[in-house]
């Protein structure tokens, strides 16, 4: 399944009057992004996307967090922001998750998936990700 299909699910729920649907929307927005980038890095760096040692929730933002690329680091920080929203949506039932929040998360997720990482930024990201993958023993 294409991770971006989760965006369709998120979109179908974002206007629901039920908070459970809105929470699901926030959660699916995050998973669309994290799995999209999981597959991207797995392919580009060379490891199995379903490697059990691949702690994707921590590692994906880490792949982007490189000090010599502000653009890449911003992507990582935005993924963290979606991650925080997903945590609240999935676990913190005392918080209210509004339609506005679900909609904002969906919008951010769409932008992250469609942002293009090219040229020197892509090169820097992949070099950094490869190093991190070695440290984490995802590749030799």
Partner 1 sequence: MNQSENYIIDIDVEGDSFSSLTSDIVLGQIEEQSINSAQDRIDDCFSLSCLPVATKREAVAFEGRNLIYYIEPSLANKAITNLPQESGRNLSTVVIVKTTAPYANVFSLHQVLPHYLQDRFFPDFFGIRESVEQLFQGADNDSGVLQQASIDEIIPDECLEFCESYDLVETFYDCVRQAKQDFESVEKIQAELGYFHDDDEFDDEPHITIEVKVNTSRETAEGSYDRWLDWFIVKVPDSVRKFFILTIDRG
Instruction: Work out whether 98 is an interface residue with partner 1 (CB under 8 A).
Output: yes
Instruction: Work out whether 8 is an interface residue with partner 1 (CB under 8 A).
Output: no
Please, which residues have CB within 8 angstroms of residue 40's CB and are 6 or more apart in sequence? none
Chain-centroid distance of CA 39 in Å reads 11
C-beta closer to partner 1: residue 21 or 105: 105
What's the CA gap between 91 and 88, in Å, rounded? 5
Cβ 67 to partner 1 shortest distance, Å = 5
Candidate residues 63, 101, 129, 130; the one interacting with partner 1 per rule CB under 8 A = 101
Cβ 110 to partner 1 shortest distance, Å = 12
Instruction: Work out whether 57 is an interface residue with partner 1 (CB under 8 A).
Output: yes
Please, which residues have CB within 8 angstroms of residue 33's CB and are 6 or more apart in sequence? 3, 79, 82, 109, 112, 113
Instruction: Work out whether 136 is an interface residue with partner 1 (CB under 8 A).
Output: no
Q: Tell me the Ramachandran region of residue 81: left when phi exceeds 0, alpha when psi lies from -120 to 50, beta otherwise.
A: alpha
Which residues of the shown chain bind partner 1 in the complex (CB under 8 A)?
55, 57-58, 65-67, 70, 73-74, 77-78, 80-81, 83-85, 87, 90-91, 98, 100-101, 103-104, 107-108
């Amino acid at each position: 399944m294409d991770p971006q299909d989760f965006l369709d699910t998120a979109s179908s729920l974002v206007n629901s009057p039920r908070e459970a649907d809105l929470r699901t929307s926030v959660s699916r927005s995050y998973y669309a992004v994290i799995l999209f980038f999981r597959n991207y890095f797995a392919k580009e760096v060379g490891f199995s996307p379903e490697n059990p040692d691949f702690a994707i929730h921590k590692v994906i933002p880490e792949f982007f967090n490189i000090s010599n690329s502000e653009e890449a680091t911003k992507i990582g920080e935005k993924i963290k922001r979606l991650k925080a929203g997903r945590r609240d949506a999935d676990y913190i039932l005392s918080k209210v998750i509004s339609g506005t929040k679900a909609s904002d998360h969906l919008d951010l997720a769409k932008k992250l998936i469609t942002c293009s990482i090219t040229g020197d930024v892509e090169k820097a990201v992949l070099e950094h990700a490869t190093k991190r993958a070695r440290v984490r023993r995802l590749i030799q």
